[in-house]
A = this chain, B = another copy of it.
């Protein structure tokens, strides 16, 4: 009985590779010269670090339909560098595949390439029905070209964007997905699969600092709502200095879209590190002050001011700062109803 499966669709035959430029790319802010960059960084006044991070395809996903029994990936990397100790290689340079079943995005396969040139098989031995596929790109690398591998005789075609609206999330490593186990486990992507909303990820690890340059990037592009993980990277002084000008710039460009600020999450190091605890509390106080001041000036701005959404047991940290998949999953499930409620108020559902 088992032997018969080995014969299905020539499980060991070579894959046929198709350039992914033919397929849809979702969660994308704007057209870019390199399709897998998030922003054409030459157009903005950015630091080298900010530009490098925006060249990473964090949060973007390919969507396609295929009847192949196998799905593989082959990548030309422009920057391949597996050095982040608290993030798996799967999240840094790998791919994360979901297939729609009964209306839900169900996990299908994920993996990292063995090296910068390796092909990787994500799933094999599937039935030959038509499948709608959602393939999250790696979080921490730079890509030149992606090819999707399928069975020789199979078909593959672009899928229309299955997600509704354009909700931009600008934020820190927490938003880009540092310490996730696989690319689809960052909190915006978990929320995306359970809500059907399109979250456009502008997470830039260590560099979410209420910059005017990022207000311009967001201002230059259409969106239906904006979420900002604003208080994780800047210190209290920077929060006090930059928050109002940031909101003013966003409001000038997008007078009516709801803007939702997220309180920075509790860092588990603060269980015992008194300085970290005091510093983070001071940041949270600063965040409350500046938000209250802004709320007196602007309508349609919101603050999800709950730091403990990764759990009050404080066991979800990989390195004292960044959540693991358990923490991201809890956070995504906790903020989703809060965010959905605000969006509904603005007719976004």
Q: Does A19 contact B (CB under 8 A)?
A: no
User: Count of A residues near B, CB < 8 Å?
Assistant: 55
A317 at the interface (CB under 8 A from B): yes
Contacts A1-B278, A107-B271, A275-B8; is A316 near B325 (CB within 8 Å)? yes
Query: Is A13 engaged at the interface, CB distance under 8 Å to the other chain?
Result: no
- CB distance A2 to B318 under 8 Å? no
Q: Residues of B contacting A185 with CB < 8 Å? A: 324
Across the interface, do A89 and B99 meet the contact criterion of CB distance under 8 Å? no
A111 close to chain B: CB less than 8 A: yes
Task: Tell me if A181 counts as interface (CB < 8 A to partner B).
Answer: yes
Docked Cα-Cα span, A1 to B277, in Å, equals: 13
Tell yes or no: A45 within 8 A of B by CB. no
Return chain B residues, CB-CB under 8 Å to A99: 271-272
How far does the alpha carbon of A214 sit from the alpha carbon of B8 in the complex, in Å?
Answer: 37
Cβ B282 vs Cβ A2 within 8 A? yes
Q: A319 and B111: CB pair below 8 A? A: yes
B275 A5 Cβ-Cβ under 8 A? yes
Chain B residues with CB under 8 A of A6: 275
Q: Is A22 an interface residue (CB 8 A)?
A: no
0/1 string, A262-275, CB within 8 A of B gives 1? 00000011011111
Q: Is A326 an interface residue (CB 8 A)?
A: yes
A90 CB, nearest partner CB in chain B, Å:
5
Further contacts, 7 of them, CB under 8 A, given A86-B90, A109-B269, A181-B181: A6-B275, A86-B89, A88-B318, A107-B271, A123-B269, A125-B273, A181-B324
9 A-B pairs with least C-beta separation:
A85-B89, A5-B275, A181-B324, A125-B275, A324-B325, A85-B112, A326-B326, A325-B326, A181-B318
Q: List 8 A-B contacts (CB under 8 A).
A: A2-B275, A86-B112, A87-B88, A107-B268, A109-B272, A125-B276, A179-B181, A325-B325
